[in-house]
A and B are shown apart, each in its own frame.
Chain A
Amino acid sequence: MSSTDTTLGELHPQPHREAPSYLDDGHTIASWLLTGDHKRIAMLYLISVTFFFFIGSVAAGLIRFELTSPAGVVLESETYNKIFSAHGVTMVFLFLVVAIPAVFGNFFIPLMIGARDLAFPRLNLASWYMFMTGGLCILIGYIAGGVDTGWTFYTPYSSLYSNTQVTLVLVGVFVSGFSSITTGVNFVATIHKMRAPGMTWFRLPLFVWSMYATSLLLILGTPVVAITLLLVIFERLFKLPIFSPELGGDPVLFQHLFWFYSHPAVYIMILPAFGVVSELIANFSRKRIFGYHFVAFSSIAIAGLGFLVWGHHMFVSSQSMYESVVFSLISFLVAVPSAIKIFNWTTTMYKGNIVLHSPMLYAISFLGIFTVGGLTGLFLGSIGTDVHLTATYFVVAHFHYVMVGGTMLGFLGALHYWWPKMTGRLYNDTMGKINAIIVFIGFNLTFFPQFILGWMGMPRRYHYYYFAPEFQAYHVMSSMGASVLGLGFILPAFYLTMSLINGKKASSNPWDAHGLEWQTTSPPPTSNFLETPIVMDEVYDFDPVSEHEQDMKDQAEHPSDEDQGHMPGGGHH
């Protein structure tokens, strides 16, 4: 689709055929709960993951509150242990793995490739029901007392010793895993076979490449953890000897099987965010991503290498020296593709025509925070240094930098970028920008002190630290930061919701961005496009040179420009 299409900026959909938007296509509950429309399913997921995120955040708030004092504030240790376990289980299995793929992947993959829907719409709906069933099972587990094993469920504590709702929660995790697998199958089939005419692999937006790589991980990794957790349940219920030495089993075997999935899982969490960042940087620098092929292939490389490094979670687990050395070497290799992406994104901005709307602020924050997070992973991939840092707050800081500063910022960026497309409403961009700054500041205040805590030796999953009062200052700093960060997560709930009530209606392409999703109305009709698009242009087909020349001319002639249906300061005719 050409960048000089002059029908952009119209307030109302193209009039030659009236088609209701997907939001208006049926108003009954059944039309939502029995839908096959990938966009509606994406919105169902949005509501669910937001709800689970809220629960995980409440747990986080309690943790940070409790840690302000060395001898605790309001909780018993048993409760504290259940709360950090709930925080981990909820955030990992019910938010991070699911959020960007299930919300934005579901919504935008068909749109970006020019298809009418995903390959298997009914499977897609089933996937949401599996997710909700698993999630509800987990919540019931919490209400019935929760688990105190940590989200990693290490044996034999989880299988023989813990007297908590391990079985119930593991059943929930098991069921929700099938949602991941079916989503992956759907995406792979869709991306392979349902691209519109002219949409070759190398014309795909990088978000689609990321989702493809993510889907490989979803399909191949999730079954392993599913069966592993099932075996833990069997060990608990039937004393099946698998992981417990008293019965002849091997506790380290559990760790191998668990991390075989859970390391690729972290790439499931970050690859979609990488995809989002590519979209944001390209469209707000108004310039094609630098080194497109390298960025595309780096996602595949991360997916492949990501299956070979799980042992770096087990350097001090009693695994052999030789295993450890191999895992460490490959861990350094897997860091390289991520570095390539960061450099490519930064270089994209060079000689771009940058517009600092709120999605771009999230993307820029991502670049800074993820770089720190990724580099601190090297401390942990190098075995000598890992020996001291593993299982301390250094690890906690590292993974929060990449998961919150990475995935969550990607999620917020995506939400702010695609909100007008999904809902047909414009939100207050100034609020969005202020919020991005609040999140950035709050995030660093919360998690940077934790690097220091970990280096000093404070272990993770500790309720008390009264024997080491020197840790308190950093905990208090971190908790203060958490309040700021919490604000940054709550505010969007308000201004985004407000936009639904009194936000301006969005045009098809309020950001003047590139991509097939912007060639249809906001929100799109149920079948996405009135006619199947035929793709003739390259992806991110911006022309920064002529845009710049036009800007210089505009500045000379018109000092200000108010566009209707556009975000202020963006786009031009």
Chain B
Amino acid sequence: MDHGHEHGHVPGLNHQYEDMAQQSDTYIVGMWSFLASEVMFFGALFFIYTLYRWNYQHDFYVAHEHLDVRLGAINTTVLLFSSFTMVMAVQSAQLKERIRVMGYLAVTVVCACIFLTIKYFEYKSKFEDHLYPGLSFADDAVKAFGNHALENGHVAVNMNHAQMFYGLYFGMTGLHGLHVLVGIGILLSLIRLWYNRANTVIHDYVPTEMVGLYWHFVDLVWIFLFPLFYLMPLPH
């Protein structure tokens, strides 16, 4: 590597930057640009969901009744709390309080794990009831709907549309869950960097803040997913 240019080798400053301010600013622009792409990624799915729900309101409603609102609400609370601890971690990074940073980040990781665990149980119950898209959905899942549809006097649910609901459910919460999992990995790496007093995080709080941005985004996606999937009003 060419080090023909000296800038006093500031710790934590990468070679392509002139000073820490430029590095931090660049990180911020980079992370927001990345989040913009994530918005488009999830946005396309939200669009598809909106379109199909608008067209198949009744079937989506019947299908959604098999989701456990309580578990969804617990997950929402857990994630919101984890966003709070994330903010606290960033503040501690600004104040260079290393132990507090690691503590808050650890709690954030614990919350994320609780979230994923609850999701695991939710998915498991759906699989047990055959409420997942696949070749035999129409035959297997009808047991889950059949009685209910008759109980409430509704017209029988269209199994294709119900399958679509569950396809979107697994697709969107699955994609979100993947982002939570990746987030756990990133958070653990961040804890490790703080533990090792790495230059990257000790001298500048912005990298920690960028992880925070990512985490808030993940939380925000869930804030949209929860009401859309779990809190449907009765269709007209």
Q: Do chains A and B touch in the complex (CB under 8 A)?
A: yes
A120 to B30, CA, bound (A): 9
Contacts of B158 in A (CB 8 A): 248
Q: Which residue of chain B lies nearest to A19 when distances are taken between CB atoms in the complex?
A: B4
A118 to B1, CA, bound (A): 15
The answer to whether A239 touches B16, judged by C-beta atoms less than 8 angstroms apart, is no
- Binding stretch for chain B, among A216-224, A432-440, A444-452: A216-224
**A186 part of interface (Cβ distance < 8 Å):** yes
The answer to whether B135 touches A239, judged by C-beta atoms less than 8 angstroms apart, is yes
Contacts of B25 in A (CB 8 A): 192-193
The answer to whether A242 touches B167, judged by C-beta atoms less than 8 angstroms apart, is yes
Contacts of B33 in A (CB 8 A): 184-185, 188-189, 219
Contacts of B41 in A (CB 8 A): 223-224, 226-227
CB distance from B227 to the nearest CB of A (A): 21
Contacts of B27 in A (CB 8 A): 189
The answer to whether A119 touches B16, judged by C-beta atoms less than 8 angstroms apart, is yes
**A257 part of interface (Cβ distance < 8 Å):** yes
Contacts of A117 in B (CB 8 A): 15-16
A117 to B23, CA, bound (A): 12
A253 to B50, CA, bound (A): 12
Contacts of A240 in B (CB 8 A): 133, 163-164, 167, 171
**A83 part of interface (Cβ distance < 8 Å):** no
The answer to whether B44 touches A193, judged by C-beta atoms less than 8 angstroms apart, is no
A525 to B4, CA, bound (A): 10
The answer to whether A118 touches B16, judged by C-beta atoms less than 8 angstroms apart, is yes
A231 to B16, CA, bound (A): 39
What does the 1/0 interface line of B160-193 toward A look like (CB < 8 Å)? 1101100100010000000000000000000000
CB distance from A240 to the nearest CB of B (A): 4
**A368 part of interface (Cβ distance < 8 Å):** no
What does the 1/0 interface line of B15-36 toward A look like (CB < 8 Å)? 1111000100111011001101
**A181 part of interface (Cβ distance < 8 Å):** yes
Taking a contact as CB atoms closer than 8 A, the residue among A19, A189, A247, A257 that contacts B29 in the complex is: A189
Contacts of A249 in B (CB 8 A): 164
The answer to whether B30 touches A527, judged by C-beta atoms less than 8 angstroms apart, is no
The answer to whether A253 touches B18, judged by C-beta atoms less than 8 angstroms apart, is no
**B128 part of interface (Cβ distance < 8 Å):** no
Number of interface residues of A (CB under 8 A): 51
A260 to B47, CA, bound (A): 12
**A532 part of interface (Cβ distance < 8 Å):** yes
The answer to whether A526 touches B2, judged by C-beta atoms less than 8 angstroms apart, is yes
**B48 part of interface (Cβ distance < 8 Å):** yes
A527 to B3, CA, bound (A): 8
Take A220-B40, A242-B48 as given contacts and tell me if A194 and B34 are in contact as well, using a CB distance cutoff of 8 Å. Answer: no
What does the 1/0 interface line of A31-68 toward B look like (CB < 8 Å)? 00000000000000000000000000000000000000
Q: Which residue of chain B lies nearest to A226 when distances are taken between CB atoms in the complex?
A: B41
The answer to whether A527 touches B5, judged by C-beta atoms less than 8 angstroms apart, is yes
**B38 part of interface (Cβ distance < 8 Å):** yes
The answer to whether B16 touches A121, judged by C-beta atoms less than 8 angstroms apart, is yes
Taking a contact as CB atoms closer than 8 A, the residue among B5, B15, B37 that contacts A181 in the complex is: B37
What does the 1/0 interface line of A455-479 toward B look like (CB < 8 Å)? 0000000000000000000000000
**Interface residue ranges of A14-39 to B (CB < 8 Å):** 17, 19-20, 25
Contacts of B161 in A (CB 8 A): 248
CB distance from A358 to the nearest CB of B (A): 32
Take A25-B2, A194-B16, A227-B44 as given contacts and tell me if A188 and B29 are in contact as well, using a CB distance cutoff of 8 Å. Answer: yes
8 contacts between A and B (CB under 8 A): A120-B30, A193-B26, A194-B26, A224-B40, A239-B135, A248-B158, A257-B48, A532-B5
- Apart from A119-B26, A120-B30, A240-B167, list 19 A-B contacts with CB within 8 A: A19-B4, A188-B30, A219-B34, A219-B37, A220-B36, A221-B40, A223-B44, A224-B40, A227-B44, A234-B133, A239-B133, A239-B137, A240-B164, A241-B167, A248-B160, A249-B164, A257-B44, A260-B44, A525-B4
Top 7 closest pairs, chain A to chain B, by CB = A248-B160, A223-B41, A117-B16, A526-B2, A189-B30, A223-B40, A240-B167
